[in-house]
Amino acid sequence: MKKPFVAGNWKMNTDSRTSVDLADSLASGIVENYNATVAVFPPFVYLQAVRDALDGSSIAVGAQDVYFEPDGAFTGEISVSMLKEIGCNYCLCGHSERRHVIGETDKLINKKVIAAIGGGLLPVLCVGELLKEREASQTNEVVTRQLKEGLAGLSAEKLAAVIIAYEPVWAIGTGLTATPQQAQEVHDFIRKLLAQMYDDESASEIRILYGGSVKPSNAADLMGQKDVDGLLVGGASLKADDFLSIIRASV
C-alpha cells in the first residue's frame, strides 16, 4: 500500500509573514502519525523561512520550479543544488501554469526532471489537458505526449524517483473539479501507459496525484479512487484548516 502524498502548491501567494504563519499552523496542526507524506511548495523567496518553521515536523518542502543547469549565467533561475542546500526534497516540473502562461515546452520540462533526479530532488511531473482538448477527446493523446516527452531518457530505476500529477487545466482554480470517475479514468490510463513504457511493477509503484480544485469536501472521494495516490492542492492549501482537513480526508 502506497502512502498517500498530499502536496500544497502555494503558487505566487503569501508574503514573508503569512508564509511562516501558514507553516507554523500546519506544523502545529499536523498529527505526526498520519500515514501520509505531506509537502508544501512555497514561492522561492520563502522556502528557507518555511523550511525553518517546519523544522521538527514531518512536513517536507518543495520548490515550484527548478532550472536544469547546475550553475552559471542563467539570470533569474534557481538550480537543483541551491534547492537541496536549503532543505528542499521536491520540485514541481511542468506545472500547467508554467506550460501555458510561461510557455515551457515538454523538452525543457524533461531536462528539469532529469536534472532534479540527478541532483537528488524528487520531481513532481505535472500533466493535463486544456478544456478544448478534453472537448475534442484529446485527453489521452495530450497526456501521452506530455509523459513520453517529459520522461524521455529515464530508466525504470530513475522513474522510481518521479511522482506524476494529473491536473486537468480546466479544473485548476476554476472551482470545477474533475469527478472522481473522470480522475480515475485518466489515472488508470496513465498507469497503463507507464506499464507499456516501462513495466508493470514500475507502473504500479509510481504515485499519481490528482490536482484541480481539490477541497475538503471532495478530497475523500477523489482519494477513494483506485489509482489516485495523492492530491496536489492549490487554493485550498493556503488555508491551514482546509489543508489539514484534506490531509485527514486522504489517509
Q: Annotated active-site positions, please?
A: 95, 167
| Cβ-based nearer residue to ligand 13P, 5 or 198 | 5
Q: Can you say whether the dihedral through the CA atoms of 248, 32, 122, 238 is positive or negative?
A: positive
Query: Helix, strand or coil for residue 186?
Result: helix
Q: At closest approach, how far in Å is the CB of 70 from ligand 13P?
A: 26
x/- mask, ligand 13P, residues 205-234, rule CB under 6 A, reads: ------xxxx-----------------xxx
Residue from 5, 9, 20, 68 touching ligand 13P (CB under 6 A): that is 9
Q: Which residues contact 148 (CB under 8 A, 6 or more apart)?
A: 197
Stretch that binds ligand 13P, among 27-35, 140-148, 166-174, 189-197 (CB under 6 A): 166-174
Query: Helix, strand or coil for residue 93?
Result: strand
Between CA 222 and CA 189 the distance in angstroms is 16
The radius of gyration of the chain from alpha carbons, rounded to an integer in Å, stands at 17
Closest chain position to ligand 13P (CB): 234
Q: Does 235 bind ligand 13P (CB under 6 A)?
A: yes
Name the helix (H) or strand (E) containing 144.
helix 139-150
Q: Contact at 8 Å (CB) between 229 and 2?
A: yes
x/- mask, ligand 13P, residues 169-208, rule CB under 6 A, reads: ---xx-----------------------------------
Interface residues toward ligand 13P, by CB under 6 A: 9, 95, 167, 172-173, 211-214, 232-236
